[in-house]
């Protein structure tokens, strides 16, 4: 199983670039499943229906969000779509869902979206504790678990990776719009159960 995670797509030109490039990349690299962060698709802040449709058309299987989730009110019209998730640790009662489970090549892939708390001006529940609770709930029912941790501080992302080492397939970060390319295989590397 090859999964591609793409960080924040910025603006309509970003969506267009995705439409131009993703089909070729998927084919060349034999990608089975694509996760795209779309929180900046609408003019750099938020997401509208056209952006969402464009990203799906380009080949995204799921669109994740972040601190700009609600920046364009259009989002309320499709936030309950199966292929879009927003940070799970947003305040309870907000529309949408924080994770979803997808079928791909006979396997079940869970994708969880979380938002960080360091230098992130968003009221949110503890992402570490919530991640653990979600994983405990779904782990028997899925084959892979991916987490888009939408956070500012590299340290917070690494801490979540360490905390969930062996419990999820991968944790990756979005939000900074700068690639740190500091991938690591952690000691427990695969899910232990």
| Distance separating alpha carbons of residues 67 and 151, to the nearest angstrom | 9
Decide the pairing of beta strands 99-104 and 107-115: antiparallel
| 10 or 22: CB nearest Fe ion | 10
| Active-site residue, 68 included | yes
Closest to 60 measured CA to CA, from 95, 87, 100: 100
Q: 83: which 2 tokens?
A: 């292929």
Residue 44 CB, nearest distance to Fe ion (Å)?
9
| Distance separating alpha carbons of residues 46 and 11, to the nearest angstrom | 9
| 86 or 167: CB nearest Fe ion | 86
Long-range pairs for 185-192: beta carbons < 8 A, 24 or more residues apart: 186/161, 186/162, 189/165, 190/166, 191/139, 191/144, 191/145, 191/166, 191/167, 192/166, 192/167
Residue 84 CB, nearest distance to Fe ion (Å)?
15
Q: 95: which 2 tokens?
A: 């529309």
Tell me which of 68, 150, 175, 177 is the catalytic residue.
68
Q: 139: which 2 tokens?
A: 């782990």
Residue 174 CB, nearest distance to Fe ion (Å)?
7
Residue 8 CB, nearest distance to Fe ion (Å)?
4
Residues of this chain that bind Fe ion (CB under 5 A): 8, 39-40, 66-67, 175
| 45 or 170: CB nearest Fe ion | 45
| 117 or 175: CB nearest Fe ion | 175
Residue 24 CB, nearest distance to Fe ion (Å)?
24
| 39 or 125: CB nearest Fe ion | 39
Contact 191, 166 (CB under 8 A): yes
Phi-psi region of 79 (alpha: psi -120 to 50; beta: other; left: phi over 0): alpha
Which positions are annotated as active-site residues?
68
């Amino acid at each position: 199983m090859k999964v591609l995670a793409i960080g924040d797509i910025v603006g309509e030109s970003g969506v267009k670039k995705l439409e131009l490039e993703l089909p070729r990349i998927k084919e060349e690299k034999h990608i089975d499943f694509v996760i795209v962060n779309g929180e900046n698709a609408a003019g750099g802040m938020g997401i509208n229906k056209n952006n969402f449709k464009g990203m799906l058309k380009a080949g995204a299987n799921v669109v994740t969000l972040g601190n700009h989730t609600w920046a364009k009110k259009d989002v309320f019209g499709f936030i309950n779509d199966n292929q879009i998730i927003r940070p799970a640790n947003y305040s309870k009662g907000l529309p949408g869902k924080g994770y979803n489970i997808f079928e791909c090549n006979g396997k079940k892939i869970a994708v969880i979206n979380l938002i960080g708390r360091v230098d992130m001006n968003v009221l949110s529940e503890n992402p570490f504790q919530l991640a653990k609770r979600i994983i405990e709930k779904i782990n028997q029912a899925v084959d892979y678990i991916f987490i888009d941790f939408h956070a500012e501080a590299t340290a917070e992302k690494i801490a979540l990776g360490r905390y969930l080492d062996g419990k999820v397939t991968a944790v990756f970060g979005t939000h900074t719009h700068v690639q740190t390319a500091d991938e690591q295989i952690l000691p427990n590397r695969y899910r232990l159960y």
